[in-house]
Chain A
Amino acid sequence: QSVLTQPPSASATPGQRVTISCSGSRSNVGSNFVYWYQQLPGTAPKFLIYRNNQRPSGVPDRFSGSKSGTSASLVISGLRSEDEADYYCATWDDKLSAWVFGEGTKLSVL
């Protein structure tokens, strides 16, 4: 069982907006920046959002992140078929002195 809680799955149709949540505690999400990763089938994770809401160069502005208290969210707007992937949140945990990941959310684009 992961320290960070994500819904196991999410789905939406092309063009819609979907939100993926990530819930933690004071020692992790509550105290540190949250990062998001996209993993397409059979590939390595891709850096998607850093420092809660910043996009690395090359990531479309359809992807946005936010954080409030001990929860964070990833929002994907204008959903496209190529967004179908697993999405993971991650952060540092001060109590564990370790990086922690959510269990991942499998996004289906119907």
Chain B
Amino acid sequence: DVQLVESGGGLVQPGGSLRLSCAASGFTFSRHWMHWVRQAPGKGLVWVSRIRGDGNTGSYADSVKGRFTISRDNAKNTLYLEMNSLRVDDTSVYYCVREGAYFDGSGNVLYYYGLDVWGQGTTVTVSS
């Protein structure tokens, strides 16, 4: 079964740091773009960041640019999100999400089909 399991959330003071992890299983992790999406209490979904399968390209929402860093270890099938200078408005459930893709026999992407697999989420609370 395809599975994503996040960990590392917790309570942190404003200005503090936290590192989230996401363990992937059941698929060829290195082939897929991976994303972080967050959801503040009682609010909607907000995209945070993404990273390419080889780890060489990433991008961020403006609200976290310069404070958050996405990375991955394909040998460990694990995605990370390093969060620094945390603010109260970063308080959210953080979801690790796979971007689905169809591949040809050589492993080349034929097409992408969206953010298809979601973890259960890990809660980050920023408060003094």
Q: Does B26 contact A (CB under 8 A)?
A: no
Cα–Cα distance between A56 and B117 once the two chains are bound (Å): 11
Which A positions have Cβ atoms within 8 angstroms of B? 2, 33, 35, 37, 39, 43-47, 50-51, 54, 56, 88, 90, 97-104
Q: Would you mind naming 26 contact pairs between A and B with Cβ atoms under 8 Å apart?
A: A2-B44, A35-B114, A39-B45, A44-B118, A44-B119, A45-B45, A45-B118, A46-B118, A47-B114, A47-B115, A47-B118, A50-B114, A50-B116, A51-B113, A88-B44, A88-B45, A90-B45, A97-B59, A98-B47, A98-B59, A99-B37, A99-B47, A99-B115, A101-B44, A101-B45, A103-B44
List B102-128 residues whose CB lies under 8 Å from chain A.
113-121
* Residues of chain B within 8 A of A103, CB atoms compared: 44
Cα–Cα distance between A105 and B100 once the two chains are bound (Å): 24
